[in-house]
Amino acid sequence: RNVSDGAGMILLGACAAWALVTAAAHEGRPEGVLLAVLAVVAGHAAGRVSGALLPLAAPCCGAAAGLVLALLMPDLSPGPRYAAPLGHEGAVAALLALATGAACCAAWTARRAASRLGLRLFAVVIALTGAAVGSAAGCAASAAVLLCSLAAGAMRQRGLALAGLALVAALAAGTVWAAAAGALPGGLTEVLGGRLAPHRVQLWRDALRMAGRHTGLGVGPGRFGVPDGTPPRGLTADGRPHSAPLQQAAEQGLPGVLLLAAAFGWALHALWRSPRTTPVALTAAAALTALAAIASLGDALSFTTVTAGAGLLTGWATARPLSGDSPLANGDGPRP
């Protein structure tokens, strides 16, 4: 467990260091990457401490805060708004998924059946809120997290479930990559492009083209909009390709993609080694997988509230409560 924690901190430090290296090579702007890494580290540390002291109250408060931030996000974030799941809409969907995960983790931690039922109803309210505010992606992601959390109660071996969630995240990123390369069969690229905002697939293709020309160091953090003084053809007002894997590939090269994948893999490994019960660990993993899928289709990771929320949820799900573990001491299911 200590080795896992140390490896995670070294990995996140490597993400920050590589952003500085690629920025120095191309006069890029690494501030956004550094802020995201700092938010994850700070959120994870706060989650570990608060999860140890208040294993039930901390995720409850976090779920409520995530819901409030999702509703107020358009007023709290600068910049123009875009159609779902671009921009603010992607961040709203991510916050709703993380808030649902926190509420479900709290439900598995609660000792009383009434408390568990109330917290799961709160998770349902979060999912319905996504539909009410017009975030179809947020509603779908929250519903998926809630269903995975309910199914986690029947799981005895978390390793296979975590491997399945990792496969889902890889399929989401692979689908976007294949769409950018034009490798999806049977016109699926056009179907996917029609479901998303205009020029989205063109942005992905521009990012993949840049990655092919700058495989090692990329074009530099924050330089997707003007890599050589010429903006991409499908460029939107915010200068991002709206896909975390493709943005990493274009701006930080292949090593940046590998570091991003390694960071997600470390989070799943930390949940596998977590002293918390299997339902808590799998619920948090489902929320992080939903975030990974949303980030593959949008720029949710560009919002500090989202990256900090991901760190908090991981911290709560890997903390060892000082008062003893949750009522599921052996991870086999709720006590009668």
State the pLDDT at residue 198.
59
Provide the total of helices (H) and of strands (E) in the chain, helices listed first: 12, 0
CA pair distance 270, 62, nearest whole angstrom: 20
In a domain, 326, yes or no: no
Q: What is the pTM (predicted TM-score) of this model?
A: 0.89
CA pair distance 77, 211, nearest whole angstrom: 29
Report whether pLDDT(335) > 80: no
How open is the CA angle 155-157-111, to the nearest 5 degrees?
A: 50
In a domain, 39, yes or no: yes
| Structure token digits, residue 30 | 């690494």
CA pair distance 110, 89, nearest whole angstrom: 32
Q: Count structural domains, the chain.
A: 1
In a domain, 331, yes or no: no
Report whether pLDDT(226) > 50: yes
How open is the CA angle 150-244-306, to the nearest 5 degrees?
A: 55
Q: How confident is the model at residue 324 (pLDDT cuts 50, 70, 90)?
A: low
Q: How confident is the model at residue 270 (pLDDT cuts 50, 70, 90)?
A: very high
Domain range for 132 is 2-318
Instruction: List, for residues 86-142, the tens digit of each pLDDT value.
Output: 446 788 899 999 999 999 999 999 999 999 999 999 999 999 998 888 888 899 999
CB atoms within 10 A of CB 53: 13
Average of per-residue pLDDT across 253-268:
95
In a domain, 163, yes or no: yes
Report how far apart, in Å, the C-alpha atoms of 174 and of each of 59, 148, 177, 244 are: 32, 22, 5, 12
Contact between residue 28 and residue 222 where contact means Cβ atoms under 8 Å apart: yes
CB atoms within 10 A of CB 258: 13
